[in-house]
Amino acid sequence: MADNIKITKDSFKRVEHHDTASQEEIQAPSLTFFQDAVRRLKQNKVAVVSFWVLLVLIVIAMAAPIIAPHNPNAQNVNYANLPPKIGSGNIPGFTGKASVAGSVSDRYAAAGVPKGTYYILGTDYLGRDLLSRIIYGTRLSIFVAFMATLFDMLIGVPYGLISGWRGKGTDMVLQRIIEIISSVPNLIVAILMLLVFKPGLTSIIIAIGFTGWITMARLIRAETLQLKSEEYILAAQTLGESSSKIAFKHLIPNMSSVIIINTMMTIPTAIFFEAFLSYIGIGIPAPNASLGTLLSDGQKTFRFLPYQMWYPSAVIVLLMLAFNLLADGLRDAFDPKSSR
């Protein structure tokens, strides 16, 4: 049977160089640092969900003039303390009915609210739409939070870079200034701002900006002290590059993960600080809406009308939880060693 097998030239295939080269190629695509960080972030389902929750909340807050169903400051005492209602009131929990003197009644009919008019989350003690006020309050809280991050970028990053890069006497003086500023509590700064400025958004932003950048400055200083002894930094100095060029071309890109992570940690702190100031009455003045003022108003009637405090509480908890979970996800993505 073996005699019947004929071996010819066509029975063999010559192995070319490009065939072996293609087999030895690495199939996985090469990723940059940021691409690899994004890949790790996408694997963190909690961080991804938090990102989309924040995106929805931010879009709703920014589109408040379009989305809000009513004027947040429009008062109508005839419609005060109306319960939540959607449409004709067939959805449980949003029926427009409430218990009065032991009997359940339609509060909208009793207040003479025209047919087809309803308030999804009810009204407050002055008849203002609670949903519209929550949307505008969320918008204000997010604005304050991003102003805090702006102070981090404009003051904290350059301050830390200069302190760490110059070192010696400059570093000592700048660090003593930070110690003096950080010794003053934020609440004292906020009260002092009320003596200089009128109570409102300006005084809150200045109070946050006065000390909010210190953590960023300290982190950037520590990173600069570590990076400035690296070989590529020494090589850039040897080639005669200026300090500003080294900072923008080498230092800041290599500290981007620290900047991003600390920025995400700053946002929930600023949101809570603004809500706290408004809650104790030295923040956003009436009749403007803030999550803190909504919590304060809702707390006064919580025993009888708990929904007026539940809804703003849920929003502020959701905001802070989402920002913190996303910050944890970013930290694990940019610095995998820290999660071990």
Q: Assign 118 to helix, strand or coil.
A: coil
Task: Return left, alpha or beta for 116; rule: phi > 0 is left, psi -120 to 50 is alpha, else beta.
Answer: left
pLDDT value of position 59: 93
pLDDT value of position 52: 94
pLDDT value of position 8: 63
Does 287 sit behind a cis peptide bond, omega within 30 degrees of 0 on the bond before it? yes
Residue range 70-87, pLDDT digits in tens: 888 888 888 888 888 888
> For the chain, what percent of residues have pLDDT higher than 70?
87
pLDDT value of position 29: 63
- C-alpha torsion sign, points 297, 298, 300, 304: positive
DSSP letter for 306, please.
T
Residue range 235-269, pLDDT digits in tens: 888 888 888 888 888 888 888 888 888 888 888 88
pLDDT tier at 176, thresholds 50, 70, 90: very high
Binning the chain into helix, strand and coil, the percentages to the nearest 5 are 65, 5, 30
pLDDT value of position 124: 87
Number of Cβ atoms within 10 Å of the Cβ of 47: 21
Instruction: Select, from the ranges 45-59, 247-261, 302-316, the one with the highest average predicted confidence (pLDDT).
Output: 45-59
- Per-domain boundaries in the chain: 45-62+129-334, 78-128
pLDDT tier at 173, thresholds 50, 70, 90: very high
- Upper half-sphere CA count for residue 219 (Cβ side, 13 Å): 23
- Upper half-sphere CA count for residue 310 (Cβ side, 13 Å): 9
What is the rounded CA–CA span in Å between residue 214 and residue 186? 12
For residues 268, 270, 272 and 275, what is the CA-based torsion angle, rounded to 10 degrees?
A: -140
Task: Specify the pTM.
Answer: 0.80
Question: For the residues 298-311, what does the mean pLDDT come to?
Answer: 86
pLDDT value of position 340: 47
Residues 6+ apart with CB under 8 A from 121: 84, 129, 130, 131, 134, 307, 311
Residue by residue, what is the 3-state secondary structure of 96-108?
Answer: CEEEECCEEEEHH
pLDDT tier at 51, thresholds 50, 70, 90: very high
Tell me which of 62-66, 107-111, 170-174, 315-319 is least confident: 107-111
Between residues 32 and 133, the one the model is more confident about: 133
Say yes or no to pLDDT of 27 above 60: no
pLDDT tier at 334, thresholds 50, 70, 90: confident
Question: For the residues 33-56, what does the mean pLDDT come to?
Answer: 86
Q: Assign 123 to helix, strand or coil.
A: strand
Per the prediction, the chain carries an average pLDDT of 82
pLDDT tier at 172, thresholds 50, 70, 90: very high
Beta carbons of 153 and 220 less than 8 angstroms apart: no
Question: For the residues 316-326, what does the mean pLDDT come to?
Answer: 90
Residue range 284-293, pLDDT digits in tens: 877 888 888 8
pLDDT value of position 136: 92
- Upper half-sphere CA count for residue 151 (Cβ side, 13 Å): 20
Q: Which residues pair with 100 in a beta bridge?
A: 103
Q: What is the CATH superfamily name and number for domain 45-62+129-334?
A: MetI-like (1.10.3720.10)
Beta carbons of 145 and 203 less than 8 angstroms apart: no
pLDDT tier at 55, thresholds 50, 70, 90: very high
What is the rounded CA–CA span in Å between residue 31 and residue 28? 9
